[in-house]
Amino acid sequence: MSAGWRANDIPLGREFLELVLQNRTNQIILDRFSACGIKDWWLTAGCLAQTIWNIKANRNPGSDIVDYDLFYFDPDTSWQAEDHVIVQGAELFADIPVSIEIRNQARVPIWYPEKFGVPYGAVRAASDGIDRFAYQTTAIGVRKEAGNSGIDAYRIYAPFGLASVMEGRVIPNTVLPVKEVYDAKVGRWQKIWPNLLVTPWPDEEGQP
């Protein structure tokens, strides 16, 4: 399990967190899920990056965010165990009019090869899922500690740092060969946030 960093202990962390929390939905999810008793979890991916891109484009912080991803880790890889958490989450967030995707990262190696045609590798923590995103830029997680308040209650996990998301630069993460996933998602993003600077997926020789 990754402990992450306090906002003041990672470059751009405080500015990043302040922007992310301007999206009230992010704030509610972090507050409520922190009290669920799950230790290894992160709110992650597009809901964080796109909040920042919206604010920098003078848009509503929650505009065009398709879903909010919650990753957690439970060594019990049964479908029933994951479904139990998903049902709990549905009840917890029933009053929020957004799609919240809750997934046990320990189960990803079970279904990923069939869906994407490549092996995923072993998973030992929720942060492993963040490490394997197709985009370095959105490979970020935020978690809140139960019962705490203020900026030090939050932890940020950002294996590639925060500069690219703050600057609107989309950079591929080639740890898995998922060029099609990268290209499809980036194509959607560019239609909504046309000022993004996109680095193409490298070719087979490793050259962009």
For residue 38, being part of any structural domain is answered with: yes
For residue 119, being part of any structural domain is answered with: yes
Q: Please state, in angstroms and rounded to a whole number, the distance separating the CA atoms of residues 55 and 107.
A: 34
Q: Please state, in angstroms and rounded to a whole number, the distance separating the CA atoms of residues 8 and 151.
A: 9
Whether 206 has a pLDDT exceeding 60, the answer reads no
Instruction: Give the chain's end-to-end CA distance (angstroms, integer).
Output: 33
Structural domain that includes position 78:
7-198
What percentage of the chain has pLDDT greater than the value 70? 98
Whether 54 has a pLDDT exceeding 60, the answer reads yes
* pLDDT score recorded for residue 141: 98
For residue 207, being part of any structural domain is answered with: no
Tell me the per-residue pLDDT of 147-178, one tens digit each, with 9 for 90 and over.
777 899 999 999 999 999 999 999 999 999 99
For residue 103, being part of any structural domain is answered with: yes
* pLDDT score recorded for residue 2: 84
- Structurally, the chain folds into a number of domains equal to 1
* pLDDT score recorded for residue 118: 94
For residue 1, being part of any structural domain is answered with: no
* pLDDT score recorded for residue 203: 83
* pLDDT score recorded for residue 1: 76
For residue 204, being part of any structural domain is answered with: no
Q: Please state, in angstroms and rounded to a whole number, the distance separating the CA atoms of residues 51 and 17.
A: 11
Residue 106: closest CA among 91, 123, 93: 123
Bridge partners of 99, per DSSP, are 67
Whether 91 has a pLDDT exceeding 90, the answer reads yes
* pLDDT score recorded for residue 149: 79
Residue 146 pLDDT class (50, 70, 90 cuts): confident
Helices (H), the chain: 13-20, 24-33, 46-56, 79-92, 108-116, 127-131, 163-167, 179-192
pTM: predicted TM-score of the whole model, two decimal places: 0.94
* pLDDT score recorded for residue 204: 63
